């Protein structure tokens, strides 16, 4: 992924992955699938060398082509949103799109045996339920999980490279950044609110809290 220097933010990768775990998983040429991926173990912000877990329907043609050692790409899309030129209140101006994304590349280890697939499934449930759910206990549903296992395969992706882009109006003056932030803050779209928080967290816009809406 091409990342202009002004939009580089290596510290954002882990947060984007944890908050947006539905990855676009690409391997074996132009074949892709959308599937949740979570980290196998907890750790610090360094993703290199760590393992991402994923699972896939055995009926998916992508699974048939997966082999140990294959190179793969997982793309995690963070919050994003369109910016009208009217927001900048300057002329000339052009429309743009603020966005965040992480590209993770690495090698695949396939998990074909149900005994190896189940821990990947349960780890995924633990992570997603803990972050987005209401504390649901999977224990009573484990027999149902076992019924599903013949139809599910899984894999591990060991991370070798990470590219992160956070395009958050860094090229604009603070006055325009503040207008963009307030535009997103006043939006009815949840992702826009997340974008506004990311910009605030990076001290973009005005630092005087009295101007915040």
Query: So where are the chain's domains?
Result: 5-167, 173-213
Which pTM was predicted? 0.91
Return per-residue pLDDT of the chain as tens, 213 residues.
999 999 999 899 999 999 999 999 998 777 899 999 999 998 777 899 999 999 999 999 999 889 999 999 999 999 999 999 999 998 899 999 999 999 999 999 999 999 999 999 999 999 999 999 999 999 999 999 999 999 999 999 999 999 999 999 999 999 999 999 999 999 998 899 999 999 999 999 975 443 433
Return the pLDDT at 207.
53
> In this predicted model, what pLDDT tens digit does every residue of 157-180 receive, in sequence order?
999 999 999 999 999 999 999 999
> In this predicted model, what pLDDT tens digit does every residue of 175-210 receive, in sequence order?
999 999 999 999 998 899 999 999 999 999 975 443
5-167: CATH, from 3.40.50.1000, 3.40.50.920, 2.30.110.10, 3.40.50.2000? 2.30.110.10
CA dihedral sign, ordered 202, 204, 207, 212 = negative
Return the pLDDT at 43.
78
28 C-beta neighbours (distance < 10 Å), count: 17
Give, in order, the Cα–Cα distances in Å from 23 to each of 38, 101, 188: 9, 10, 25
Q: Can you spell out the DSSP letters for 109-124?
A: EEE-SHHHHHHHHHHH
């Amino acid at each position: 992924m091409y990342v202009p220097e002004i939009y580089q933010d290596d510290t954002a990768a882990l947060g984007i992955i944890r908050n947006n775990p539905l990855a676009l998983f690409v391997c074996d040429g132009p074949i892709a699938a959308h599937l949740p991926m979570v980290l196998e173990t907890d750790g610090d912000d360094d993703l290199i060398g760590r393992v991402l877990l994923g699972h896939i329907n055995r009926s998916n043609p992508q699974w048939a082509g997966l082999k140990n050692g294959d190179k793969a790409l997982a793309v995690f899309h963070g919050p994003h949103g369109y910016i009208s030129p009217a927001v900048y209140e300057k002329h000339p101006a052009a429309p743009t799109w603020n966005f965040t994304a992480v590209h993770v590349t690495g090698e695949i280890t396939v998990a074909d045996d149900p005994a190896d697939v189940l821990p990947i499934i349960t780890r995924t449930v633990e992570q997603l339920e803990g972050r987005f759910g209401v504390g649901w206990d999977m224990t009573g549903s484990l027999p149902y999980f076992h019924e599903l296992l013949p139809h599910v395969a899984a894999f591990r992706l060991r991370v070798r490279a990470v590219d992160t882009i956070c395009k958050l109006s860094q090229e604009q003056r603070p006055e325009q950044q503040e207008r963009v932030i307030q535009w997103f803050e006043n939006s009815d779209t949840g992702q826009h609110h997340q974008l506004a928080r990311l910009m605030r967290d990076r001290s973009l816009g005005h630092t005087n809290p009295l101007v915040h809406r």
